[in-house]
Structure 1
Amino acid sequence: MQEINQYLADTLRQLRHDRSWSLDRAASECGVSKAMLGQIERGESSPTVATLWKIASGFDTSLSSFLEPAPAELRGVTLRSADALRQRPTADAMLMAPLFPFDARYGFELFEFTLLPGYERLSEPHSQSVVEHVVVVRGVMELLVRGVWQRLGEGEAVRFAADQPHGYRNPTSAPAVFHDLIHYPPGSDSQSR
């Protein structure tokens, strides 16, 4: 956890530096308090996924850019293991595996998320034109899109515009696992990274 917090702190500090933003300006752009941003930069706080998304949206960058660098390729092939990557990088009761962190060549990032029983997260809109593709791998979950909770079972998939409020929840007593491919529009800072 300490390694993740340090990577997040370094990335946030570098993004602010690259844009010549003060903590006040970053707080205003992200909708996150100056105190919280300062704590994150000092490695003193592990934000929730919702807070991390606010920061990513404020900087117009990908969520995965705060979790780890792009993985190494060997002759055009990248091998990843969800079991090796699965972690709880935020204060949420949700496990994340950044299977393929954002890469501007492809315009997307791919996560495996595990929602523990009873977990619910409401997400504020992401940057304009961000699209999510959710595929349930194991269990049952519910996805909030356009104000309606939709029940999704194993093998079911949904694509939706994520620049609107949405949410994820697990109303069951067993973990729910899903893949989430998040596509960023060409021209965003995410695409230029």
Structure 2
Amino acid sequence: MEADLAALGQRLKARRQACRMSLDGVSRETGVSKAMLGQIERGESVPTVATLWKIASGLRVPMSYFLAPGLTPASRSSTPWHHDASGMTVLPLFAFDPGLGFEMFVIDLPQGTFSESPAHAAGIVEHVVVIEGAMELAIEGQWHRLETGDAMRFAADRPHAYRNLDAARARIHDLIHYPAGM
């Protein structure tokens, strides 16, 4: 995981520099503290999925920018999962494709997982498909139970949350669609 933390930090720093922003500027755009951003850049802190979303939204890049640089079918199986404190793990399945406007992840939600996601940029739509187990998805404060084979599409430009209250792990596919020009 250390190499992954270093790579994630390098990607954050490269994007920040490409945008000609200071850590203060990125903090203002993302709502993530300057201290936390510095720790991520130095590979000293594992950001939660929610924090990565805040950073990606604020810097106007897809989430896979941080998790799957250079992802190809040959490298996909060796691409490590991103683990966070909520228990959620995320594996990029397809990195962002600007021509198609989407990225796709496999997400595992072990028993007891609760992960809140901040609002993404305007126009982003998520498509969640449960491929194993059951989970709950909160949209605008209302919880929806989804079981194997169930799917839900929702506007992700508002806060939402994922949780697994069942004994078994839940696994989902999460396809994230970005509006044209993002």
User: After TM superposition, is the score higher than 0.5?
Assistant: yes
Q: What CA deviation, in whole Å up to 9, does each residue of 1:33-78 have, x standing for no partner?
A: 0000011111111111111111011101111110121323xxxxx4
Compare 63-72 and 87-96 and name the one that shifted more: 87-96
Partner of 2:28: 28
Partner of 1:87: 81
> Which one-letter code corresponds to 1:108 in the other structure?
F
Give distance in 2, aligned partners of 1:88 and 1:12: 15
Is there any run of 5+ residues in structure 2 with no aligned partner, and where?
Answer: none
Q: Is the 8 A contact 2:116 2:160 kept in 1?
A: yes
Q: Percent identity?
A: 49
Count of aligned positions: 182
Equivalent residue runs for 1:43-192 within 5 Å: 43-72=43-72, 78=73, 84-85=78-79, 87-188=81-182
> Which one-letter code corresponds to 2:52 in the other structure?
L
> Which one-letter code corresponds to 2:162 in the other structure?
Y
Q: Is the 8 A contact 2:95 2:103 kept in 1?
A: yes
Give distance in 2, aligned partners of 1:31 and 1:101: 25
Ranges of 4+ aligned residues in structure 1 off by more than 2 Å = 78-82, 88-92
SS at match of 1:9: helix
Q: What CA deviation, in whole Å up to 9, does each residue of 1:107-150 have, x standing for no partner?
A: 11100000010111111100000000000000010000122100
Q: Is the 8 A contact 2:86 2:114 kept in 1?
A: no
Q: What CA deviation, in whole Å up to 9, does each residue of 1:73-92 have, x standing for no partner?
A: xxxxx46766x545234444
Partner of 2:13: 13
SS at match of 1:150: strand
Q: Is the 8 A contact 1:86 1:95 kept in 2?
A: no
SS at match of 1:3: helix
Q: Is the 8 A contact 1:112 1:178 kept in 2?
A: yes
Give distance in 1, aligned partners of 2:51 and 2:96: 19
Give distance in 2, aligned partners of 1:29 and 1:22: 11
What is the CA RMSD across the aligned residues, in angstroms?
1.5
TM-score calculated relative to the size of structure 1: 0.89
Give distance in 2, aligned partners of 1:166 and 1:53: 12
Compare 41-50 and 90-99 and name the one that shifted more: 90-99
Q: Is the 8 A contact 1:80 1:99 kept in 2?
A: no
Give distance in 2, aligned partners of 1:165 and 1:129: 13
TM-score calculated relative to the size of structure 2: 0.94
Is there any run of 5+ residues in structure 1 with no aligned partner, and where?
Answer: 73-77, 189-193
SS at match of 2:62: coil
